[in-house]
């Protein structure tokens, strides 16, 4: 199978041949940081353009079509505009926390990238508690949102931040239980082990109905955790102007805007890894010829293809369902998704103990 592992090995060997061990390690850290920032920039530009085009298709219109072919440079022009705009700080704001909040949100998003396997052998850090690391670090993003809402000195911002905090804390439970169902089936928290366990079939299919239930609940919970419609109550324009980032402008607003799309990519990447095999091709049992043909498709294409498909599904939600009220949002989690998730964990455990999965 085509792999990016050779590229990483070449860079590692070249740096160790020309630098000391310490300097080579520092150089690798710098390269990883630059690559992560570059990925953020590309994803930000690409996903915003994709969002606009998906919305345009669903509303039977053209979307961006002036700058570049099919309007692909529109988001680049928007970025230049945001860079040139003056970033104002409200007079009654807590200036330190107000300026720190956007960086907290974007740094948390960057930290979550570490254990994600983008291709075969192409992973920043294959930590043995990769799934636990992702769930733990992702919980920190709510701190940046609460910090932004409170420090702005704006009642609308504070209300949006409080909504976001309640929403994220609530839906983390269902998302976590959905993740646990895959951990029970694989018996490991390591991302590479979870991907390897799907060599003969993705867990979405191997895990029977409980895995499908976990997948659906995870998609719903991930949509809520990223403050996406129909769960975008933290940024409800018709009620809170712009929610927790009402007072932000220029590049500070751009960091919040970018982190939203990066978080969408991350939750979809995690979902693709847990339920759809990550970079693993579609293998069906002992169908040797079919599996061999699937192996010719590069692992990175498998990973990004699955992730982009899930991103499309989340964008589809936005332009299909109306926004929920706060009470409806919390009722959905505490009265429906959480009990279903807890019962589903029992089913998954039974399937794992009895060995009924494929």
Alpha-carbon distance of 148 to 248, in angstroms, equals: 9
What's the farthest any 2 CA atoms get from each other in the chain?
Answer: 68
Phi and psi angles of residue 117, each rounded to the nearest 5 degrees, phi first: -90, 105
**25 located within any domain:** no
pLDDT value of residue 9: 77
Token pair 């579609």 in the structure block, residue: 282
CA angle 7, 9, 10 (to 5 degrees): 65
**343 located within any domain:** yes
Instruction: Kindly indicate the confidence band of residue 119, based on its pLDDT and cuts at 50, 70 and 90.
Output: confident
Alpha-carbon distance of 347 to 345, in angstroms, equals: 5
Range of the domain at 264: 90-354
Average pLDDT over residues 1-27: 79
Instruction: Give the dihedral sign, CA 38/44/47/48.
Output: negative
Instruction: Kindly indicate the confidence band of residue 238, based on its pLDDT and cuts at 50, 70 and 90.
Output: low
pLDDT value of residue 286: 77
Of 282, 313, 316, 281, which Cα lies nearest the Cα of 299? 281
Give pLDDT tens digits for 311-330.
999 999 988 888 888 889 89
**78 located within any domain:** no
Average pLDDT over residues 34-45: 89
Answer yes or no: is pLDDT of 2 > 60. no
Q: Are 161 and 328 in contact (CB under 8 A)?
A: no
Give pLDDT tens digits for 174-217.
999 999 999 999 989 999 999 999 888 889 988 889 999 999 99
**242 located within any domain:** yes
**309 located within any domain:** yes
**139 located within any domain:** yes
Q: Are 173 and 333 in contact (CB under 8 A)?
A: yes
- E strand or H helix at 257, and its extent? helix 250-275
Alpha-carbon distance of 172 to 317, in angstroms, equals: 19
**153 located within any domain:** yes
pLDDT value of residue 18: 85
pLDDT value of residue 227: 85
User: Nearest 10 degrees: CA dihedral of 52, 53, 56, 62?
Assistant: 110
Give pLDDT tens digits for 139-178.
888 899 899 989 988 888 888 888 888 888 899 999 999 9
Alpha-carbon distance of 88 to 99, in angstroms, equals: 10
The verdict on whether omega for the bond into residue 218 sits within 30 degrees of 0, i.e. cis, is no
Q: Which residues pair with 117 in a beta bridge?
A: 123
Question: What's the token pair of residue 88?
Answer: 């104002």
- Angle at which helix 155-186 crosses helix 130-138, to 10 degrees, equals 170
Question: What's the token pair of residue 93?
Answer: 């704001």
- pTM (2 decimals)? 0.91
- Identify the residue with better confidence: 239 or 257: 257
**24 located within any domain:** no
Give pLDDT tens digits for 55-87.
999 999 988 988 888 889 998 998 888 888 887
**How many structural domains is the chain composed of?**
1
Q: Which residues pair with 123 in a beta bridge?
A: 117
């Amino acid at each position: 199978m085509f792999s990016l592992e050779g590229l990483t090995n070449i860079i590692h060997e070249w740096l160790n041949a020309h630098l000391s061990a310490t300097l080579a390690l520092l150089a690798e850290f710098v390269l990883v940081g630059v690559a992560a920032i570059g990925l953020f920039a590309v994803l930000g530009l690409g996903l915003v353009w994709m969002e606009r085009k998906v919305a345009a298709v669903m509303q039977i219109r053209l979307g961006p079509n002036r700058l570049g072919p099919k309007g692909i440079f529109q988001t680049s022009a928007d970025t230049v505009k945001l860079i040139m705009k003056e970033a104002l700080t409200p007079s009654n704001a807590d200036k330190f926390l107000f300026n720190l909040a956007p960086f907290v949100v974007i740094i948390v998003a960057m930290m979550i990238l570490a254990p994600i396997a983008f291709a075969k052998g192409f992973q920043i850090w294959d930590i043995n508690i990769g799934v636990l690391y992702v769930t733990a670090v992702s919980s920190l993003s709510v701190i940046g949102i609460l910090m932004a809402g409170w420090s702005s000195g704006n009642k609308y911002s504070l209300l949006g931040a409080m909504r976001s905090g309640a929403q994220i804390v609530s839906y983390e439970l269902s998302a976590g239980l959905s993740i646990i169902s895959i951990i029970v089936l694989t018996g490991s928290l390591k991302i590479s082990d979870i991907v390897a366990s799907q060599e003969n079939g993705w867990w979405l299919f191997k895990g029977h109905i409980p895995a499908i239930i976990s997948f659906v609940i995870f998609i719903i919970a991930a949509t809520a955790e990223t403050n996406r419609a129909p769960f975008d109550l933290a940024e409800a324009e018709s009620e809170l102007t712009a929610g927790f980032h009402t007072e932000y402008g220029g590049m500070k607003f751009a960091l919040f805007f970018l982190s939203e799309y990066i978080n969408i990519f991350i939750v979809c990447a995690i979902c693709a890894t847990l339920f759809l095999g990550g970079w693993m091709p579609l293998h069906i049992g002992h169908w040797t010829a079919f599996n061999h043909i699937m192996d010719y498709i590069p692992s990175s294409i498998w990973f990004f293809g699955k992730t982009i498909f899930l991103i499309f599904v989340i964008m589809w939600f936005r332009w299909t369902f109306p926004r929920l009220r706060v009470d409806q949002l919390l009722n959905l989690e505490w009265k429906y998704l959480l009990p279903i998730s807890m019962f589903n964990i029992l089913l998954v455990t039974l399937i794992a103990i009895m060995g009924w999965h494929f």
